[in-house]
């Protein structure tokens, strides 16, 4: 089975080969078939490649390895391997409550209409801050974490709905009046400040 990446490379190779042929032998375009070939090579295929490539880039930017390729994110990646169930990000990652290959994106995407586009826009802002401005120290979210992202999966789940604590504050949680990350609840998320004092579990390598 050929992987999508290989297919994309084949498409790019085919396009580049055709364009190279036209650059080396432009006289091919003198007849009708050559003109069609030029239209395909210099118009249709490059546009198709750009669309397919953009789509591949979008998909790849969801991957955990992509987020962690930025140096500043390294401790956040390490926090996913903390051997402590109270570390909520680590517990989700290690127990496969989220897809491990898209761990960052799954929890930090906005689960609303056009949320994916908003996330990508935020990603571009991260790059802008990294290269043309000054990253926050310590870095933190631009806006408080929205319960909507947790409830996208947990709302309606038995473990959430049957918990007396959750039942007591159900409406406040759903309306985002009270954060899931409130002190005393799920307040240990990445806690990168304390990573030098915790044990690590190496059973799920970051990918």
Partner 1 sequence: MTAHNPMERWLRIAGVFVLLGLLVEVLALRWVHPAAFLVFAFIGIPIAVMGIVIYLYSLVSLRGSARRT
Q: What does the per-residue mask of binding to partner 1 show for 9-48, with x meaning CB under 8 A?
A: x--x--xx--xx-xxx-xx-x--------x--xxx--xx-
For residues 136 and 129, give the distance between their C-alpha atoms in angstroms, rounded to a whole number. 9
84's tokens = 């402590």
Cα separation, 102 vs 67, in Å, equals 9
Site string for partner 1, 60-79 (x = CB under 8 A): xx---xx--xx---------
Please state, as a whole number, how many other Cβ atoms lie within 10 Å of the Cβ of residue 177: 10
- Give the nearest distance from C-beta 128 to partner 1 in angstroms: 9
Q: Which is nearer to partner 1, 25 or 86 (CB)?
A: 25
Q: Which residue lies nearer to partner 1 by CB, 41 or 77?
A: 41
Crossing angle for the helix pair 45-60 and 4-24, to the nearest 10 degrees: 150
How many other CB atoms are there within 10 angstroms of residue 17's CB atom?
Answer: 12
Is-contact 188 197, C-beta < 8 A? Answer: no
d(CA 169, CA 172): 5
Which of residues 33, 57, 95, 163 is near partner 1 by CB under 8 A?
Answer: 57
DSSP 8-state assignment for residue 40: I
Q: Tell me the per-residue interface mask from 97 to 136 with partner 1, x by CB under 8 A, - otherwise.
A: --------------------------xx-xx--xx-----
Applying CB under 8 A, the site for partner 1 has a residue count of 37
Residues that bind partner 1 (CB under 8 A): 8-9, 12, 15-16, 19-20, 22-24, 26-27, 29, 38, 41-43, 46-47, 49-50, 53-54, 56-57, 60-61, 65-66, 69-70, 123-124, 126-127, 130-131
């Amino acid at each position: 089975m050929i992987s999508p990446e290989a297919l994309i490379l084949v498409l790019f190779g085919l396009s580049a080969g055709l364009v190279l042929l036209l650059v080396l032998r432009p006289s091919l375009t003198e007849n009708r078939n050559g003109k069609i070939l030029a239209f395909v090579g210099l118009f249709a295929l490059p546009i198709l490649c750009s669309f397919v490539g953009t789509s591949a880039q979008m998909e790849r930017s969801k991957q955990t390895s992509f987020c962690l390729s930025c140096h500043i994110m390294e401790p956040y990646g390490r926090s996913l391997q903390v051997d402590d169930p109270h570390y909520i990000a680590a517990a989700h990652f290690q127990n496969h409550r989220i897809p491990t290959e898209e761990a960052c994106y799954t929890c930090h995407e906005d689960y609303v209409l056009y949320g994916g586009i908003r996330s990508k826009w935020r990603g571009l802002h991260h790059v802008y801050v990294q290269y043309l401005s000054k990253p926050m120290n310590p870095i933190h979210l631009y806006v408080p974490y929205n319960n909507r992202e947790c409830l996208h999966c947990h709302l309606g789940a038995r473990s959430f709905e049957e918990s007396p604590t959750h039942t007591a504050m159900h409406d406040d949680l759903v309306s985002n009046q009270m954060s899931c990350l409130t002190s005393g609840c799920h307040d240990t998320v990445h806690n990168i400040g304390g990573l030098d004092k915790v044990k690590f579990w190496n059973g799920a390598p970051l990918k």
